[in-house]
Amino acid sequence: MRLATTRLLFAAALAGALWTTPRPAAAQAAAPALTPEQAESLHQGMLMLRNLERQGDRAGAIRQGEALLQEFPNTRRIEDALAQLYRLEHRDDALLDLYRRRTQRDVNDLESFRELASLLLHRERVDDAVEVFHKMIAVNPKDENRYRLAASFLHSRGQAESAIRLYREGRRAIGRETLFAAELAQLEEERNDLPAALSEYVLLSMNPEQRRRATREVAGLIERSEARPRLLARVDELRSRHTKSAPVQDIAAMAYLQVGRYADALAAIRDADRLAGDQGEHLLDFGRTALDAGKSGTVLDSERVQVGVQALALLSERHPKSGLAPEATRLSAEGLVAVAREMEPGETRTRLLKQAVATLEGAGGSMAPRFETEARMLRAMILFEDLGDAAGALPVFESIAAQQREAGESDALVMVQAALCRAALGDFAATRTALEAVVGSSPPDSVADPFQARRKKPRDLGAARARYHLAELDVVEGKFPEASSEFAALAEEAPEDRFANDCLDRALVLNEAMMDDPAALQRYAAMVRARLQRNNAGAQSELEALVQQHRQSALAPIALLELAAALARDGKTELAMQRYDQILADHPKHRFAPRALEARGDLQMERLRRPDLAQASYERILMEYPDDLFLDAVRKKLLAAREAVKGGPHATP
């Protein structure tokens, strides 16, 4: 029995030794192999040590451990146990000796180097700690991981200066100028040496894979910094010193863009592009950054947008064959249109829109066919929707439609746009013919295959829009029952979204109005006619007359709603709000009432920048119209308004 127990204990000891965490080869060699008796003795010794510790006799446990270590020198298990005990008893000197011995014994035991340095730092012996790391590094001075381990450890213990020195030493020793640039930049920023941080980001940008990150970090640095003038002075200095460095010029351009020095930004990005000798990536990134910030900021910055547009135009000019040119053209045009649409109608708005059109025209012929079609489509939409130039837009739409037909693609949506151009030019007969052609050429829904019917292809969408406008033409021609039926059919077929809801509303309104004073319907028809002709003033005047003269008509609510939307589009926000309020006052239970509240909330949020008022509007919808179909969208808007309110008084989202 005793033999069996001994064998069991031996096996356990051996298993323990075998299952020890793998250590570096040098450390394993330091401890000689044990005989079975020695292993047993060691095991018993460790048990005794643990028992003493559990009994609270730490001093006894330490004595036991030290005795064991004398008997079994360089045994890691004993050293680990002793290290824990020394820590608990605050015997730092003994702990230091222990780790010193380990690091001398095994120069690859990085963990022990780190522990030793940690102890020295704890005793505020910073220089000694750094010396320890130097010894660790000296084993293999070309190993960048050693520098990283040492420096990051020093940094985590509050020794940023030492960490910086170590990184710089590593950079020199390994001989790569850009090594540790990201780490050094962060450290320099933490100790508020922003020009030094900036220099490191410049170095980081020399690595093509890190260029974008570097420029982003620099922009962020400038944004965060309270010492902008100092930083910008450094940027100026770097720029003038490194006139042949594309990364430096690129970073300078982004920095100047950040602070509004647009002329300098443009000059710097020109230089960066010239020096880079690439396909215009710098210009594209710059343009995109300028446009994104210009469009999404709380204050519209049209000058910034123009700088972005100029940079993108430069790309098309300097790199006409670049694969990035179509993207640049598209971004330019979209940027200009986005800015223009934020403005009140007027000369500046028109000028920007025409500039967008000119940008798209100028790019024609140099792009791949797909991009060219997209550019032409965008141009046509700007001409028609924003500039009201139906005559200019019509040939463009028709040529795109012809091109799509040749390519075997669906032309339905484009043909609808072309038809609407004809309506705007007053040729309703041709409009009807064109729209009927779209409807006639789309395949019927396959009732047998419900999945097929549910999948909306472009041709189906085009047909739905065509039918919608045909119904409008019926209204214009006084065929109100036909129009109502068509709107009702569309509402039935379309998925539950705003389009279906709109169709249903029109069907219901016409149905109700057909029992009213026919004069109201005639006025409504005149309004639809004016709207199709893009005669906004005429449409508004018909709506005003409807509202004034037919207050009790079933058409009054929709007239108010459409009038308010038209006024909002014209930038007459206050008048639009009054009309929405009139719907709520005169028709509180009408199905348009929650739409009026929602639209009012949207104006309060986006135009008036009053999220607190918007919040109240949206909350009213939830409380007063709990069965409204679009509550999910309203909830999202309400949460956004609440967040904006939290941001500060009248904070904008």
Partner 1 sequence: MRRRDLLLATAVTLLWIAPARAQQFMLIPMDLSQTNHLKAYGLAYRMLGQGVEVEWLLNYRGGSFLARRGGDAELEARVRNVSFELVGAAQVAEIKAEIDRENMEVVLLEKPPRLAVYSPPNAQPWDDAVTLVLEYAQVPFDKVYDREVLTGKLAEYDWLHLHHEDFTGQYGKFYGSYRFTTWYQHDVEVNEALAVELGYGKVSELKKAVARTIREYVRNGGFLFAMCSATDTIDLSLSAEGVDIVAPEYDHDGQTPGVQDRLNYSNTFAFEKFSLELNAMVYEFSNIDTSNYARLRGAEADYFTLFSFAAKHDPVPTMLTQCHVNVVNGFLGQTTGFRKSLVKESVLILAEVDGSSEVKYLHGNLGRGTFTFYGGHDPEDYQHAVGDPPTRLELHVNSPGYRLILNNILFPAARKKEQKT
Task: List contacts with partner 1 (CB under 8 A).
Answer: 8-9, 12-13, 16, 19-21, 43, 46-47, 50, 53-54, 76-77, 80-81, 84-85, 87-88, 619, 622-623, 626, 631-632, 635, 638-639
Q: For partner 1, which is the closer residue by CB, 53 or 200?
A: 53
CB 388 within 8 A of CB 380: no
For residue 532, give every residue at least 6 positions away whose Cβ sits within 8 Å of its Cβ, in sequence order, or none: 420, 423, 424, 428, 431, 469, 472, 473, 476
CB of 113 to partner 1, least distance (A): 15
Q: Compute the distance between CA of residue 204 and CA of residue 92 in angstroms, rounded to an integer.
A: 41
Crossing angle, helix 518-532 and helix 458-476, to 10 degrees?
A: 130
Q: For partner 1, which is the closer residue by CB, 122 or 230?
A: 122
CB of 34 to partner 1, least distance (A): 14
Q: Compute the distance between CA of residue 310 and CA of residue 305 in angstroms, rounded to an integer.
A: 9
CB 520 within 8 A of CB 550: yes
Q: For partner 1, which is the closer residue by CB, 15 or 519?
A: 15
For residue 228, give every residue at least 6 positions away whose Cβ sits within 8 Å of its Cβ, in sequence order, or none: 222, 259
Q: For partner 1, which is the closer residue by CB, 177 or 632?
A: 632
Q: For partner 1, which is the closer residue by CB, 88 or 402?
A: 88
CB 30 within 8 A of CB 106: yes
CB of 89 to partner 1, least distance (A): 11
Residue with tokens 């829009």: 465
Q: Which two tokens stand for residue 84?
A: 């824990």
- Name the amino acid, one letter, at 645: V
CB of 77 to partner 1, least distance (A): 6
For residue 108, give every residue at least 6 positions away whose Cβ sits within 8 Å of its Cβ, in sequence order, or none: 24, 26, 27, 139
Q: For partner 1, which is the closer residue by CB, 141 or 653?
A: 653
CB of 631 to partner 1, least distance (A): 8
CB of 630 to partner 1, least distance (A): 13
CB 614 within 8 A of CB 602: yes
Q: Which two tokens stand for residue 487?
A: 């709107």
What end-to-end distance do the CA atoms of the chain give, in Å?
80
Q: For partner 1, which is the closer residue by CB, 52 or 556?
A: 52
Q: For partner 1, which is the closer residue by CB, 21 or 298?
A: 21
CB of 80 to partner 1, least distance (A): 4
Q: What is the DSSP letter of 478?
A: T
For residue 31, give every residue at least 6 positions away whose Cβ sits within 8 Å of its Cβ, in sequence order, or none: 72, 73, 74, 75, 76
CB of 285 to partner 1, least distance (A): 29
CB of 618 to partner 1, least distance (A): 9
CB of 50 to partner 1, least distance (A): 7
Q: For partner 1, which is the closer residue by CB, 115 or 472?
A: 115
- Residue environment code for 557-569, b if the CB has 16+ CB neighbours within 10 A, otherwise e: bbbbbbbbbbbbe
Q: For partner 1, which is the closer residue by CB, 19 or 451?
A: 19
Q: For partner 1, which is the closer residue by CB, 51 or 578?
A: 51
CB of 143 to partner 1, least distance (A): 18
Taking alpha carbons only, the member of 513, 509, 531 closest to residue 522 is 513
Q: For partner 1, which is the closer residue by CB, 47 or 358?
A: 47
Q: For partner 1, which is the closer residue by CB, 368 or 639?
A: 639
Q: Compute the distance between CA of residue 83 and CA of residue 77 in angstroms, rounded to an integer.
A: 10
CB of 133 to partner 1, least distance (A): 17
For residue 412, give every residue at least 6 positions away whose Cβ sits within 8 Å of its Cβ, in sequence order, or none: 438, 441, 442, 458, 459, 461, 462, 463, 465, 466
Cα–Cα distances in angstroms (integers) from residue 421 to residues 389, 465, 490, 494, 542, in the given order: 9, 14, 23, 25, 21
CB of 81 to partner 1, least distance (A): 6
For residue 547, give every residue at least 6 positions away whose Cβ sits within 8 Å of its Cβ, in sequence order, or none: 556, 559, 560, 563, 579, 582
Q: What is the DSSP letter of 517?
A: -
CB 504 within 8 A of CB 487: yes
